[in-house]
Structure formats: C-alpha cells, structure tokens
C-alpha cells in the first residue's frame, strides 16, 4: 500500500494531523492499534487552554507553561503552542465543537499552575467532544483508516518510509507518529492505578528510538493529583481538576488544607504523597491510601454546568460530591517526555514527525492541565501540514 502520509494513532493529535494533511492535498492513511475511537484523548475531561481573557495573552500563557515545567520546556515549542492556541480553538469550532459559554463569551476556568482563567470546556467531556469532531472530519474526507493495525516496524526507504502496521505493509513519503505514551503499561508494571486507555503501552516510542530518533525526558512521568480512590468503580478515574478550579480543596484526615490546590500538578501530587507519608491521610475501604477532596465547596450552579459527568458517576455509586468530600490519591497519567521535535513537529529523522503525548519538549518535565489537548491540535495540525509538504517535495 502506498500513501503520501501515514499517521500512526487515532487520538486527537493523529486525527488533527490526518485532517490537516488531507486538507494540504496529501493521500492519507491512519493506522490505529484498535478502533478509531480507542484513545486517551477521548477520556480527557478537564478542558483545553487558550488565552481569551481580557487580562490574558499568549505570552502570559507561555510564561505559565515555562514556570510549571520548572524551566525545562523548549521555549520555541511553548511559543508555538500558546500563540496558536486561539486559532486552534476556532478551528475546532469550525469542525463542530461547542465550547461552554456564558455572558456572551467562553466560560473560562483557572487551572493548576495558571495565573489567569483560560481553560475552555465542553462540560467535563472536552476530550470526547474534540475527538468526535476530528473523527467526523476525517471520516468525511478521502482518507483511509486501518483499524486493529498496530505499528510493528518502521524503516527508512529511498523516498520515505516503509511501515508494517498489523498485516499491512505501507510505503509513505512521510510518517506522523501520534500513538501516545506508556502510562497504562507503566502502571501495570508498578502495580499502580492509571487513568490511561489500555492501548497506552509505548511500543511506538521504542520503535522510533530503534530507528534512530532522539528523545528527551522519557523518565518524567506525570501523576494526576486527583485519581478516584473510592468507591471501587471510580479507582483510576481522573477527577477533573476543574473541581479545584471551582472551589474544591484538598484536606487531610483532620480536615486541614495542606497544599495550594491550584498549584502545578507535580507539586500537588507530591504534597498528597507527603501528607499520607506523615500519617495524615485516610484509608479507603479496600485499604488504599487517600486524602479528601472537599467538593462540597463547589457551587451547585458551577458543578451542574462544568462537572455533570463526574456528578453522574459518583451519584450512581451512592456518593454525592456536593454533599460529602470524596477520596482521592494520585494516579499515573501522562508521559511528559518523548521524541525530540522541531517547530514543525519533525523528529531528528527526516520525514518522521511526532505530535501529542509521544513528543517531548513542549511541557518539559511537568505538564499543565489543559495543554495536552491543545498540543494535540496545534502540533497535530503542524505535523500534518509539514508531512504533506514533505510528500509533495519527494
């Protein structure tokens, strides 16, 4: 099979790349490990960041990213991410995503590590809304989809790449790797919980490294500070961080606040680990460590608009988060590092691109919430365009 562009992965970054490449005129094939719907992106709840507030700017957004990364991010990539955020939002709206609005503008929330309110949401199912719109855009085009076709091997050819995806041998002038991270497998290996889809096992990163691509910060895995700890059906669920944006706070067994609930993710997660280590945590009914997330402080109006899915899930388990605090503990969530890319999402190997969680540098060693879906869209679009242009020149 011969195509201009092969996209490996069907999450938000892969679909954004595929749609963008096709719009640039390329013949595109998407190879998915499972179904097109199977991805981490669809599970993302909190939202997507973009500087739309009157007191905000892409430069301020970039500064927040830089500080949250502990000054380890690639500033060139950060500038691209934040400066193209507003246009990425408008692109998503053109594809049918309807962000929650109020008072004539977007309903913006302040998330952990942010100095301004800039988190846009679609209730608390933002990732699902974005991936649905991107998938519909891809399926309405002329692109080819190969499901249940995981990447098995990748090798350079004279005019591009040859990939084996499942039972298919594919020649492509350019390849976009958008297969996500490895936190599901990492959590299994550690005996921990993870928010990730079972497909997040990291073999595409390994294949790229074996082909000679460079990587950075691969050891920097992120814990989501607020994993569901109880009831059992909520374990591994990522409680939206917008709970804290709308007033929830973390408290210990004595009901005392012990950290800035709107701090950077790694800082908040470490504070929870430390509080439990001091003996000030609580235990779930099955003996797991936890602290309380006091969600009773969230105004009911905000919860009904921005947290409806979370409320439904907990209430179906017999717990009303607006009437009693919920139990939480950090869970493995995100691979901060990944393949080294430039501003066009090209890796250190010519004609091989990477976007989304598999790419490193944009977040440094610690990612702010709301920037993963943004990275998928900004660098997915860039990767798709650049790969298509590479194919034209081949």
Strand positions, DSSP E, the chain: 2-8, 28-31, 48-49, 101-102, 105-106, 119-120, 144-146, 151-157, 160-165, 168-177, 215-216, 221-230, 249-251, 282-283, 289-294, 326-335, 338-340, 352-354, 359-360
- Nearest alpha-carbon partner for 13 in 270, 366, 354, 349: 354
CA distances from 22 to 17, 240, 327, 379, 387 (A): 9, 34, 45, 15, 10
Catalytic residue among 182, 265, 313, 382: 265
Q: CA Rg, the chain, in Å?
A: 20
Using a 10 angstrom Cβ sphere, with 0-12 exposed, 13-18 middle and 19 or more buried, the burial of residue 275 is buried
Question: CB-hemisphere CA count at 13 Å for 101?
Answer: 7
Catalytic residue check, 265:
yes
Which residues, listed in sequence order, are joined to residue 145 by a DSSP beta bridge? 30
| Residue partners of 381: CB distance under 8 A and separation at least 6 | 16, 17, 20, 88, 91
Determine the Cα–Cα distance for residues 119 and 110; give it in Å rounded to an integer: 6
> How many CB atoms are closer than 10 A to CB 180?
32
> In whole angstroms, what is the distance from residue 271 CA to residue 253 CA?
14
356 near 13, Cβ under 8 Å?
yes
Structure tokens belonging to residue 311: 């409320």
What the block records as the tokens of 374 is 């943004």
| Assigned token pair, 5 | 């562009």
Catalytic residue numbers, as ranges: 265
């Amino acid at each position: 099979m011969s195509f201009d562009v092969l996209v490996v992965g069907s999450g938000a970054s892969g679909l954004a790349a595929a749609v963008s490449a096709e719009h640039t005129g390329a013949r595109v094939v998407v190879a998915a490990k499972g179904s097109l719907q199977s991805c981490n992106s669809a599970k993302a709840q909190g939202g997507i960041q973009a500087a739309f507030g009157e007191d905000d700017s892409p430069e301020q957004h970039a500064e927040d990213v830089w500080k949250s990364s502990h000054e380890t991010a690639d500033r060139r990539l950060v500038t691209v991410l934040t400066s193209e955020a507003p246009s990425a939002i408008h692109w998503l709206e053109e594809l049918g995503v309807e962000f929650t609005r109020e008072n004539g503008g977007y309903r913006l929330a302040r998330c952990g590590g942010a100095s301004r309110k800039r988190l846009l949401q679609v209730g608390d199912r933002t990732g699902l809304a974005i991936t649905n719109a991107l998938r519909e855009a891809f399926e309405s085009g002329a692109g080819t989809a190969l499901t249940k076709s995981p990447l098995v091997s990748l090798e350079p050819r004279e005019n591009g790449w040859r990939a084996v995806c499942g039972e298919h041998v594919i020649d492509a002038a350019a390849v976009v790797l958008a297969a996500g991270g490895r936190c599901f497998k990492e959590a299994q290996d550690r005996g921990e919980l993870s928010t990730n889809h079972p497909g997040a096992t990291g073999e595409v990163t390994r294949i790229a490294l074996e082909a000679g691509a460079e990587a950075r910060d691969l050891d920097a895995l992120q814990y989501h500070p607020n994993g569901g700890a109880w009831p059992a059906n909520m374990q591994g669920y990522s409680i939206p961080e917008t709970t804290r944006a709308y007033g929830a706070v973390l408290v210990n067994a004595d009901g005392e606040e012990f950290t800035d609930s709107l701090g950077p993710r790694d800082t908040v997660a470490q504070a929870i680990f430390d509080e439990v280590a001091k003996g000030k945590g609580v235990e779930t009914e099955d003996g797991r460590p936890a602290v309380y997330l006091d969600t009773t402080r969230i105004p009911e109006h905000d919860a009904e608009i921005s947290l409806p899915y979370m409320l439904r899930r907990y209430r179906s388990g017999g717990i009303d988060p607006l009437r009693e605090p919920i139990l939480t503990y950090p869970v493995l969530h995100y691979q901060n590092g990944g393949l080294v890319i430039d501003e066009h999402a090209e890796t250190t190997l010519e004609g091989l691109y990477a976007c989304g969680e598999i790419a490193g540098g944009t977040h440094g060693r610690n990612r702010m919430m709301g920037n993963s879906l943004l990275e998928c869209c900004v660098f997915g679009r860039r990767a798709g365009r650049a790969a298509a242009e590479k194919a034209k020149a081949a």
